[in-house]
Amino acid sequence: MKILPALLLIILTACGQSNELGQPQLTPEQVSLGFFEAIYISRDVEKAKKFVSTDIQDIMDHYHIASAVQRHVLGLSMKKVTISIDEIDIDFFRKFTDDVTVIVKIQGLKGGNDWIDDRTIRLHKKGNTWLIIEILPEKGRIEG
Domain boundaries, the chain: 28-135
Q: What share of the chain is helix, strand, coil (3-state, %, to 5)?
A: 40, 35, 30
Q: Is the predicted pLDDT of residue 117 greater than 90, yes or no?
A: yes
Confidence of residue 97 (pLDDT cuts 50, 70, 90): confident
Q: Is the predicted pLDDT of residue 105 greater than 90, yes or no?
A: yes
Confidence of residue 19 (pLDDT cuts 50, 70, 90): very low
pTM reported for the whole predicted model = 0.78
Do residues 108 and 78 lie in contact, with contact meaning Cβ atoms separated by under 8 Å? yes
Q: Is the dihedral of CA 111, 80, 61, 26 positive or negative?
A: negative
Q: Right CATH number for 28-135 from 3.40.630.30, 3.40.50.720, 3.10.450.50, 3.40.640.10?
A: 3.10.450.50
